[in-house]
Amino acid sequence: MAKKSYYVTTPIYYASGMVHIGNSYSTVVADVFARYHRLKKDDTFFLTGMDEHGLKIEEAAAKKGMSPQEFVDDIALKTSELWKNLKITNDDFIRTSDARHVKTVQAVFDRMLKNGDIYLGSYEGWYCTPCESFWTDTQVGENHICPDCGREVHKAHEECYFLNLKKYQQQLLDYIEAHPDFIQPETRKNEVVSFVQSGLEDLCVSRTTIKWGVPVLANPKHVVYVWIDALTNYISALGYENGDDSLYKKYWENATEIIHVVGKDILRFHAVYWPIMCMALNVPINFKVYAHGWILMKEGKMSKSKGNLVYPMDVVNRYGLDALRYYLVKEMPLGNDGLFTWERFIERFNVDLANDLGNLVSRTISMINKYFGGKIRKADKNYFSFDEELETLAKKVIEDYKHDFEAFHFQDGLDAIWSLISRANKYIDETTPWVLAKDESKQEELMDVMYHLYEVLRLVSIMITPVMEDSAKTIQEELGLNKEEVEFTALEFGRDTENTVIEKPLVLFKRLNMQEELDKINGDNK
Ligand code: MSP
């Protein structure tokens, strides 16, 4: 059987500034998906990159007295460094100013022009300069406000090329109906369906007023509209129409699963324009679109204009990478919005990481040292009814975890793992190892208890790997586990074990004093 191949992408980020924890969320969850599949030894390709063209970037560069290329080079470098610091495991980093990408965009545009899916016309409508989008009378309403960003729009007239969306309207609706998992979650799918049903207008896909973009080959006074340019990244990075297309064949045409992770604000582009482009190009629509909500601050959406931005490294430098990755994945149910406040962050850190996980690790290792000089092995049998309860739960959690991580429901998957951690903590209180330790005749019972805790931690360490690899590795080293014992295929309770744990447990997550931390953060932000 051919090996399964997975392709996961993030949106490509506007190179107008640095990504904050809101938009780095897309990258972290895509990374979790990629890491999960690599843990399973699935062939996986993970793409992220930068969206570098358009007026906003032209303007931002001019403000800094730089050329657009110099400006985006600087941001792209800083962003790829950031991803390295967040241990993002992307296989490629596509930039829309890359020559390979420009080549694909020009070929794609040219093909659609030749096929008659793109035609030259002229446009009169309401234009939003910051969003670089035209809108209809109904969309801007009486107050002439951009439906996307809420800013004022103005009347504009422009010669432009149009993509014939109307032609594909019914085909798209049929496609969505025949592929119920194309858009996830379900509620978002309904929004897209009603948008398409309300009637698609042909889309203006070129601009004559902007210089910083990909010139249309057939008519270079036009540059390609940023969204057509940007969406094409998903195949230009795989070599589509720009040279060796073996990656395109493997990760697109023959992919087991392709997932585009996007925020809810850009769903329409991915679930309407992109599949229509694919139809026009005869590129198979093999992908699914996973739309996530926003990370909100107390004041609403995180944004530069509100001045409420938190940058990933602000969190990492204070509390470590795994705490950030855990929080992002844990606090954001797919589809709904999640909240970021420092209070909530510190609370999750203390409760989930320091207390639940951290304590289970340190208590277990300390007891194995104290009672058995660090040696652990499988006991001759189960001595307690709690053993079966714990084992049954472990089995269920493993199943749930696999199911949830497969389906991109990482939050549910983490909940499942933490239910096992809590149960194991309770198991310590139920079996009271300190009492067994006092009784010479109960040594095998005591080993049985230690073994159960040890097994739970081994399983937990495997399951958290895609989210918090550093902590997973530390726990595995502390437990003295070998490579084979922490493989995905070893995700089963009850392995034979004869290991030695580390002498003194490390402090994985040091409990924080809420008030002290908040004072420090507020002090630094002044
Ligand atoms: N350049 C386009 C995407 C083109 S993809 C072919 C773009 N870039 S962006 O930098 O503005 O946004 C990138 C992603 O960040 C989007 O998915 C957007 O939804 C997401 N987020 C921006 N702010 C966010 C939050 N506060 N919370 C979660 N995600 C947010 O759009």
* Distance from Cα 101 to the centre of ligand 1, integer Å: 20
CATH for 254: 3.40.50.620
Residue nearest to atom 20 of ligand 1 (CA): 23
Pocket test for ligand 1, best of 9, 12, 13 (most atoms within 8 A of CB): 13
Element (DSSP H or E) covering residue 257: strand 257-263
Q: Which of 108, 403, 72, 96 is nearest to 280 (CA)?
A: 108
Is residue 328 included in any domain, yes or no?
no
Pocket test for ligand 1, best of 19, 23, 93, 298 (most atoms within 8 A of CB): 23
**Shared-domain flag, residues 15 and 102:** yes
**Shared-domain flag, residues 25 and 150:** yes
**Shared-domain flag, residues 132 and 228:** yes
**Shared-domain flag, residues 247 and 350:** no
**Shared-domain flag, residues 174 and 74:** yes
* Distance from Cα 23 to the centre of ligand 1, integer Å: 5
Which residue, chain included where needed, has tokens 């390609």?
A: 224
- Nearest-atom number in ligand 1 for the CA of 233 is 6
User: Of 268, 292, 316, at which residue does a domain stop?
Assistant: 292
Is residue 150 included in any domain, yes or no?
yes
pLDDT beneath 70, residues of the chain:
1-2, 525-526
Is residue 506 included in any domain, yes or no?
no
* Distance from Cα 109 to the centre of ligand 1, integer Å: 24
**Shared-domain flag, residues 132 and 237:** yes
User: Of 252, 271, 292, at which residue does a domain stop?
Assistant: 292
Read out DSSP for 1-35?
A: -PPPEEEEE-PPEETTS---HHHHHHHHHHHHHHH
Is residue 514 included in any domain, yes or no?
no
For 447, the token pair is 């080993």
Q: Which residues line ligand 1 (CB under 6 A)?
A: 11-14, 22-23, 25-26, 51, 230-231, 233, 262-263, 265-266, 294-295, 301-302
Is residue 223 included in any domain, yes or no?
yes
**Shared-domain flag, residues 273 and 347:** no
**Shared-domain flag, residues 240 and 378:** no
**Shared-domain flag, residues 366 and 243:** no
Residues 6+ apart with CB under 8 A from 54: 14, 132, 210, 212, 213, 226
Can you tell me whether residue 358 is helix, strand or coil? helix
DSSP state of 450: H
Rounded Cα gap, residues 497 and 448, in angstroms = 12
**Shared-domain flag, residues 390 and 471:** yes
Is residue 322 included in any domain, yes or no?
no
Range of the domain at 138: 5-292
Cis preceding linkage at 215, omega within 30:
no
The whole-number pLDDT of residue 526 equals 60
Q: Across-strand partners of 157?
A: 124
CATH for 365: 1.10.730.10
**Shared-domain flag, residues 102 and 44:** yes
> What number of residues does the chain have?
526
**Shared-domain flag, residues 234 and 376:** no
The whole-number pLDDT of residue 158 equals 83
Is residue 301 included in any domain, yes or no?
no
The whole-number pLDDT of residue 2 equals 64
pTM exceeds 0.75: yes
What are the tens digits of pLDDT across the range 90-134?
999 999 999 999 999 999 999 999 999 999 999 888 988 777 778
Cis preceding linkage at 185, omega within 30:
yes
H, E, C per residue of 377-398: ECCCCCCCHHHHHHHHHHHHHH
How many independent structural domains does the chain possess?
2
Is residue 405 included in any domain, yes or no?
yes
* Distance from Cα 499 to the centre of ligand 1, integer Å: 46
